[in-house]
Amino acid sequence: MYSKLRKFFFIFTLNFSFFLLLMVGIQNSAEKRKVNFIVKETISLPIGFIMGVGFISGSITASILTLKSNKQD
């Protein structure tokens, strides 16, 4: 139990630091695009932000799935 909590805290801290680095690095981004969903589209967002958020959300999802599927702890 303690091990899973420790891993979760590490995952949260790592991904939060990625997000902070993304916010700092995106400040001077000039090229913007819209993301088209099925019904609506988003406001114009920098391409680096869209890709960075995709990377971070994938990292969080994979980490949570790894925590749940790891039955050895």
Residue indicated by tokens 């990292």:
59
**Which tens digit of pLDDT belongs to each residue from 39-66?**
888 888 888 888 888 999 999 888 888 8
- 16-40 pLDDT, tens digit each: 999 998 888 888 878 888 888 888 8
Strand partners, 45: 33
Angle between helices 47-69 and 2-25 (to 10 degrees): 170
Phi, psi of 6 (to 5 degrees): -65, -40
Q: What residue spans define the domains of the chain?
A: 2-69
